[in-house]
Every structure is written in structure tokens, then in C-alpha cells.
Amino acid sequence: MKSKKDLLSILDIRDEIPEILDLAIKFKNDEITDKPLEGKSLAMIFQKSSTRTRVSFEVGMYELGGNSLFLSSSDLQLFRGEPISDTAKVLSRYVDGIMIRTFEHQDLVELSNEADVPVINGLTNLEHPCQALADTQTILEKKGSLNVKLAYVGDGNNVCNSLLLISACLGMDISIATPKGYEPDEDIVNEAKSISKETGSKVQITDRVEDVVSDADVVYTDVWVSMGDEEEKEKRRNDLLKYQVNGELMNLASKDAIFMHCLPAIRGEEVGSEVIDGSQSVVIDQAENRLHAQKAILYYLMK
């Protein structure tokens, strides 16, 4: 197997995060205008549906001079019983990179182990590193530095896990408020706390939402019911009711705090309309940065 770079977790690019963020900003500012991926193809496997991930990767490959192939669950033998190893080996003969958006993180790991080309985590139940990179780019743009307090409120899901890791890696303070039983992954929390001792990041995990949001520079939340959690919908809504980011909660943050959400959002559940549609919201700029961050990832892994 040839040497290759993958992005399965934020930890895979720990030392390269500043370089990738710099690339993303340069792409956004049209400072890189060549077509570095001309003649290259990216296979995009979607077991989970998507808006931002699909469009940003497709457009990103096009703008870099390459080609992308959308492969849904109904398009592949993988989801009809073919082993992941066979799919990985065959696709490696056709394309120059594979992006997968799926449920189980172990499936991503197996795909990476068997593929001879770079593999990108477009989302798993454990992590969403592409989102965390775009989020960090947005914070840099809006606040001017990463010397901020990031408050995450709600379900300690894949987005929360990746935000924990990237914050610790970059020395950014992060405070997370979740109900009991909804905390981020324990291994990731421990890893983030270990890294934070080296970088000076402050990591806080609590169930006290007011403590987390108080004086925060960035307030972030995500949906309460992710794909695959639909059977727990009512329980999740009841358990997370006190963790809605509404106007009253935002008033506890810094006066110039920004509100972030990776979208899609359910107004009236995890966030109030007055917040996500208000002047402090940067969610559309945040969504746009998925394109620029994706281009930086593709450039870094496939050039």
C-alpha cells in the first residue's frame, strides 16, 4: 500500500490545522487560482443524506479542476452486502480520493485501512472534522483570533467531539453544557484534556448551561435529534428542553458574541428564531466556509 494522508479525525491533522486554515482563507480570498487537482477524481459515498457536505465537496472539486462522483446507498453494492474492503480496493483503482458520510466510525476506519487513496470523513457518528475546520475558520474571521471562549450547548454529538479536539489542538477555550447522558465521547474528552495541558486550552464539561454561556464569545448548538436518533425523538426533546439557545440565554454571553450552528436547524427546538435569524447569527457565513475549508482539505490531501 502506498503512503497516503487521511482525514478521519481532527487528530490526523493536529500539526497541520493552522496550515489548512490558512489555505482555506486563501481560497476564500481568491489567492490560489490554479487548478491543482486537474484530472483527479473524488468518489463521494453518502449513506447519510446531505446538503452542505455534498455541494461543498462537488463545487470544491470542480473549482480545483477535478471531478466528483456522487454515490448514494442505492448506487453501491457496498450497501447490498459487498465487503468494505472490496469497495475500497476497487475504488482505489478508479479515483484519487474517497469521501464518505456514514453512520459507524469503524466503517470509515476499515475503508481507510483498505484504500490506497486518501479517505476523508464527511461525517460519522463519532466525528465531523470538516465541519470543525470550517467553524474554526469562521471564528477566526469574526473574532480576529482564537483567543476566545467557545460555548457549546446541547447534545454532545459528533460535531461537539470534533470541536473539542480542534479547540484543544489550537489552544482555544471550550465549555460544553449537556444533560447527564448526553456528554461527548469519553475517550475524546480525555484526549482533548490531555492535549489542552500542552496548548493551554481550557476544557470544561458540565450540565450547567448558564455557567457555560456566561461571558462566552461564541455560542454554538446543534440539532437535538440527529439522523439515526429518530426513535428517541420525544425523549431527546424533553431531556434537552432546558438547553435551547434563546434570546434570554444569549444575553448571558458577551455583548459581541456570535451564534453558530452547523445546520440544518430546527427553530423552536435547539435554537430560537430570534437568535438564529438575529444580528448575532453567523450561520450562513459558517455554511459558506464549508466550501473553502473543503477545498483546503482536498488540496492538502490530494495535490
**Catalytic residue (one of 54, 101, 105, 236):** 101
Tell whether omega for the bond before 264 is within 30 degrees of 0, i.e. cis. Answer: yes
261 catalytically annotated: no
**Catalytic residue (one of 222, 261, 286, 294):** 222
Distance between CA 275 and CA 247 in Å, rounded? Answer: 6
52 catalytically annotated: no
Residue pair 196/168 in contact by the 8 Å Cβ criterion: yes
Q: How far, in Å, are 44, 51, 223, 256 from residue 102 at the CA level?
A: 11, 14, 17, 36
Residue pair 163/132 in contact by the 8 Å Cβ criterion: yes
User: Nine-digit cell at 9?
Assistant: 479525525
222 catalytically annotated: yes
Q: In sequence order, which residues have a C-beta less than 8 Å from that of residue 101 and are 6 or more positions away?
A: 44, 45, 46, 47, 48, 50, 53, 122, 123
Distance between CA 204 and CA 46 in Å, rounded? Answer: 34
Place of cell 490558512: 22
292 catalytically annotated: no
Distance between CA 238 and CA 10 in Å, rounded? Answer: 32
Q: How far, in Å, are 79, 114, 302 from residue 135 at the CA level?
A: 31, 30, 22
Residue pair 290/52 in contact by the 8 Å Cβ criterion: yes
**Catalytic residue (one of 12, 52, 96, 131):** 131
The catalytic site residues sit at 101, 128, 131, 222, 262, 290
